Amino acid sequence: MKCLLFGLLLCCFTAVAQVNIIPQPVSVKLSGTNGKFTLRPDTQIIVEGSGLENSINFFNSYLKAYYGFALETASVPKGNNNLTLNFERMDDSIPGAYYLSVDKKGIYIAGDNETGVFYAIQSLIQLLPMAAGGKQLSIPYVEISDRPRFAYRGLMLDVGRHMMPVPFIKKFIDYLAMHKMNEFHWHLTEDQGWRIEIKKYPRLTEVGAWRDGTVIGKRPWKGNDNIRYGGFYTQDQVREIVAYASKRYITVIPEIEMPGHGSAAIAAYPWLSCFPNEKTNIPDSLLSEEGRKTNGKLVYEKWGVAEDVFCAGNDSVFEFLQNVIDEIIPLFPSQYIHVGGDECPKTNWKRCPQCQKRIRDLGLKDEHELQSYFIQRMEKYINSKGKTLIGWDEILEGGLAPNAVVMSWRGEKGGIEAAKQKHTVIMTPTTYVYLDYSQAKHEDSLVIGGYLPLEKVYQYEPIPPVLSADDGRYILGAQANIWTEYMTSPSKVEYMIFPRVDALSEVLWSPKSAKNWMDFKKRLPYQFERYNLWATHYFSDSSEYDTR
């Protein structure tokens, strides 16, 4: 008995010392022999099945980038040092289950499907030594069985406030893949910038993608930097990014905001506003010099919510948005189209004759019902194209569109309500997954505010206990949101999201019963070593970030 206990302890100790995978797999069994397989430049990849090019290419690119070699692929082994890729039915409802074994016979991977093989490769990458440039990569003998807990494992990136270059978007997608996440919610339009080329409306990017300056510092801000800022993604770049993501089994969900957060579009086409002739409301003290010279619409130059929103009483506005959606749909194979729906001030609608006429004509109760009408009308259109609408939880107000998916951000309340109404829900509550909040108590860099330490993200449980088992099934998963008011560069984005994305990946992938904060913390330093290898920025208790 004592001996068995000692054996168990040793096995656990060895596990800690040798296998440090994030997110924690369902089952990890070390052989107990301390044996190791050596992956080397002449190791062959043996492919027993089709459709595995994505996994092979990903692995070879990784080996090439960090160790300087790539492996050859064959269907019949030449020698006895092989990495075998295969399929085995595991009948999991969520794609991505896999089995990975490393022993003296070699490395054997079986995925339930292509995605499973891809995730096995991600685990294999985490078994490789950290030192760059090695040609004899020893990997411990181990047996791993694994499968995802949630179907939706996402990150949202706001490129409206700050534009991120295409190579970084690809890197960001790689980060998702390496954390076994599968949904990239791309927040493409904002008050402060419209970031996607729409051929029918060229002014959206000629005008709407550029602001003449940005407020300095934190609310109530210290003037305007007067630096023209902007950029956008061409449709060719979007196609390139979507294809890149798809090779990593990641869906790109586009978000086109309406009826609020539309200042940039309104600057391009003022007739989208209830009051086309009114100047955008920004106090002079916060406005750029260029902005002070005009009497018209402006791409928003300060943070916060603009009052100028799309007019809900003007049919041409709907026609415009439908035409935009017509160009969006062929670019994004995603089943979901996100239309925002959050933070739409009702001030303009209250004094707009066209909006008020719409309320009267349709017998609506108030402007909240007008917002509901707006979203429902867009939903009908999106559904008619075979797609499903997602909106932030404000779309519950005034009545939920019949088939809409709800993203619950103002806490979990909206998600709970939507699940009770039998709507699919994606949880993104500020309290647990807003990665623009500070990771450090003392705000070690310029951030929007709030405090969200790593442990709080780790402790998040996406299915609220108040839901019945039946209603809990409507929670598809969760997503962290990355709003970029105070993230002006890719390195700041990385610094803000890591290692909180590690914690979230474990929330979304690992079985609830396998979650263990102390164990996660023990694995984290190995992940930091990997981030060092990748030259990725991250927060750790000792790090400080340049605040300028």
- Which residues of the shown chain bind ligand ACM in the complex (CB under 6 A)? 342-343, 392, 409
Query: Which of 47/274 has CB closer to Zn ion?
Result: 274
- Tell me how far, at minimum, the Cβ of 17 lies from ligand ACM, in Å: 41
Query: Which of 232/392 has CB closer to ligand ACM?
Result: 392
User: How crowded is residue 137: how many other Cβ atoms within 10 Å of its Cβ?
Assistant: 20
The string of DSSP letters for 270-335 reads GGGBS-TTSPP---GGGS-HHHHH-SS-----SSS--S--B-SS-HHHHHHHHHHHHHHHHH---S
Query: Which of 114/393 has CB closer to ligand ACM?
Result: 393
Q: Which does 194 bind (CB under 5 to 8 A by kind): Zn ion, ligand ACM, none?
A: none
- Tell me how far, at minimum, the Cβ of 98 lies from Zn ion, in Å: 53
Contact 182, 154 (CB under 8 A): yes
Query: Which of 229/392 has CB closer to ligand ACM?
Result: 392
- Binding status of residue 311 toward Zn ion by CB under 5 A: yes
Going by their DSSP bridges, the two strands 229-230 and 210-211 should be labelled as antiparallel
- Size of residue set near Zn ion by CB under 5 A: 6
The CA-CA-CA angle for residues 522, 527, 528, to 5°, reads 100
- Binding status of residue 352 toward Zn ion by CB under 5 A: yes
Query: Which of 127/378 has CB closer to Zn ion?
Result: 378
- Contacting residues for 8 by C-beta, under 8 A, at least 6 apart: none
H or E, element range at 210? strand 210-211
Query: Which of 257/494 has CB closer to Zn ion?
Result: 257
Instruction: List the one residue from 41, 49, 270, 313 that touches Zn ion (CB under 5 A).
Output: 313
- Tell me how far, at minimum, the Cβ of 298 lies from Zn ion, in Å: 19
Q: Which does 311 bind (CB under 5 to 8 A by kind): Zn ion, ligand ACM, none?
A: Zn ion
- Tell me how far, at minimum, the Cβ of 348 lies from Zn ion, in Å: 6
Query: Which of 371/408 has CB closer to Zn ion?
Result: 371
Q: Which residue has the tokens 């002079």?
A: 284
Q: Which long-range contacts (CB under 8 A, 24 or more apart) does 196-200 make?
A: 196/232, 196/233, 196/235, 196/238, 196/254, 196/256, 196/328, 197/232, 197/233, 197/234, 197/235, 197/238, 198/323, 198/324, 198/327, 199/235, 199/327, 200/323, 200/324, 200/327
Question: CA–CA distance from 519 to each of 145, 180, 498, 523, 532 (Å)?
Answer: 19, 19, 18, 6, 21
Query: Which of 103/342 has CB closer to ligand ACM?
Result: 342
- Tell me how far, at minimum, the Cβ of 303 lies from ligand ACM, in Å: 12
- Tell me how far, at minimum, the Cβ of 343 lies from ligand ACM, in Å: 5
DSSP state of 393: G
- Binding status of residue 389 toward Zn ion by CB under 5 A: no
Q: Which does 56 bind (CB under 5 to 8 A by kind): ligand ACM, Zn ion, none?
A: none
Partners of residue 281 on adjacent β-strands = none
Question: b/e map of 171-190 (b: 16 or more CB within 10 Å)?
Answer: bbbbbbbbbbbbbbbbbbbb
**Among 465, 504, 463, which residue's Cα sits nearest to residue 481?**
504
Q: Which does 354 bind (CB under 5 to 8 A by kind): Zn ion, ligand ACM, none?
A: Zn ion
Stretch that binds Zn ion, among 12-20, 308-316, 338-346, 440-448 (CB under 5 A): 308-316
- Tell me how far, at minimum, the Cβ of 306 lies from Zn ion, in Å: 15
Q: Which does 62 bind (CB under 5 to 8 A by kind): ligand ACM, Zn ion, none?
A: none
Q: Which does 409 bind (CB under 5 to 8 A by kind): Zn ion, ligand ACM, none?
A: ligand ACM
Question: CA–CA distance from 58 to each of 46, 93, 245, 273, 497 (Å)?
Answer: 15, 25, 12, 46, 23
What is the strand order of the sheet 98-103 is part of? 27-30, 142-146, 98-103, 106-111, 82-87, 44-48, 72-74
User: How crowded is residue 480: how many other Cβ atoms within 10 Å of its Cβ?
Assistant: 28
- Tell me how far, at minimum, the Cβ of 270 lies from Zn ion, in Å: 13
Stretch that binds Zn ion, among 76-84, 90-98, 296-304, 309-317 (CB under 5 A): 309-317
- Tell me how far, at minimum, the Cβ of 337 lies from ligand ACM, in Å: 16
Q: Which residue has the tokens 């917002």?
A: 371
Stretch that binds Zn ion, among 192-200, 268-276, 298-306, 410-418 (CB under 5 A): 268-276
- Binding status of residue 354 toward Zn ion by CB under 5 A: yes
Q: Which does 392 bind (CB under 5 to 8 A by kind): Zn ion, ligand ACM, none?
A: ligand ACM
- Contacting residues for 415 by C-beta, under 8 A, at least 6 apart: 393, 406, 408, 425, 426, 427, 429, 464, 475
- Report CA Rg, the chain: 25
Q: Which does 274 bind (CB under 5 to 8 A by kind): Zn ion, ligand ACM, none?
A: Zn ion
- Binding status of residue 356 toward Zn ion by CB under 5 A: no
Q: Which does 343 bind (CB under 5 to 8 A by kind): ligand ACM, Zn ion, none?
A: ligand ACM
Nearest-angstrom CA–CA distance, 361 and 337: 29
Q: Which does 526 bind (CB under 5 to 8 A by kind): ligand ACM, Zn ion, none?
A: none
Query: Which of 417/529 has CB closer to ligand ACM?
Result: 417
- Tell me how far, at minimum, the Cβ of 77 lies from ligand ACM, in Å: 52
Query: Which of 58/409 has CB closer to ligand ACM?
Result: 409
Burial class (CB in 10 A: 0-12, 13-18, 19+), 275: middle
- Tell me how far, at minimum, the Cβ of 274 lies from Zn ion, in Å: 3
Query: Which of 274/448 has CB closer to Zn ion?
Result: 274
Q: Which does 487 bind (CB under 5 to 8 A by kind): Zn ion, ligand ACM, none?
A: none
Nearest-angstrom CA–CA distance, 259 and 37: 57
Instruction: List the one residue from 274, 324, 378, 507 that touches Zn ion (CB under 5 A).
Output: 274
Give the residues lining the site for Zn ion (CB under 5 A): 274, 311, 313, 352, 354-355
